Amino acid sequence: MSRDAAIARAADYFDSGGFKADLARRVAIPTESQNPERAAELTRYVETEMKPALEALGFGCRVLRHPKARGPFLVGERHEGAGLPTILAYGHGDVIRGLEAGWKPGLSPWRLVETDGRYYGRGVADKVTGAPASPRSQYIPAIRRSPSRAISTGRCSFGACCEQPR
């Protein structure tokens, strides 16, 4: 895929509303690793959102669990060939509470809101949603817009985990 084709593909993903739809769906999953009542949400985020998204891109995925962890770990790997570069991407389920009461009126940690060209919602500016400017979708768009560059040039790994505070 040429550079121009990759840029056109990324622009189409954004302009068509695909990026916003993916981001909104991921922001809506209330992952809070400090809240034991949200353990099922951490699992849902990994099992029904991130794992299928990576598998659709040709990744082999494993979900790992540890008795002391507050949530599952997702490991995805797509190996293109020996001797090719490795690309590592990292995302995570959130590690703190959503603190709904602290959000400005009209905003919520679990709902994506666009205001003045900016997106608001939990995880839109870190690695929680998994894409630049969007945690829970973070690296998926990068791979979608340029799979020949991001994946086909080497080995691409993705790790998502729900971290436990120390």
* Higher-pLDDT residue of 149, 37: 37
The count of structural domains within the chain is: 1
Per residue in 128-156, pLDDT tens? 555 433 333 344 444 444 444 443 344 44
The pLDDT of residue 89: 66
Report yes or no: 72 and 162 within 8 Å, Cβ to Cβ: yes
Residue 69: alpha-carbon gap to chain centroid: 19
The CATH number that applies at residue 23 is: 3.40.630.10
Per residue in 106-135, pLDDT tens? 889 999 999 888 888 887 766 555 543 333
Residue 157 pLDDT grade (very low, low, confident, very high; cuts 50, 70, 90): very low
Rounded to the nearest integer, the mean pLDDT of the chain is: 75
pTM: 0.72
Q: How many CA atoms lie within 13 A of 128 on its CB side?
A: 26
Report yes or no: 136 and 29 within 8 Å, Cβ to Cβ: yes
Per residue in 7-30, pLDDT tens? 888 889 889 999 899 989 988 999
- Tell me which of 66-75, 99-108, 125-134, 150-159 is least confident: 150-159
Measured over the CA atoms of residue 50, residue 51, residue 56 and residue 59, the dihedral's sign is: positive
Full domain range(s) for residue 131: 3-162
Q: Is the pLDDT of residue 98 over 70?
A: yes
Q: Match 């995302």 to its residue by tokens.
A: 91
The pLDDT of residue 90: 66
Report yes or no: 75 and 66 within 8 Å, Cβ to Cβ: no
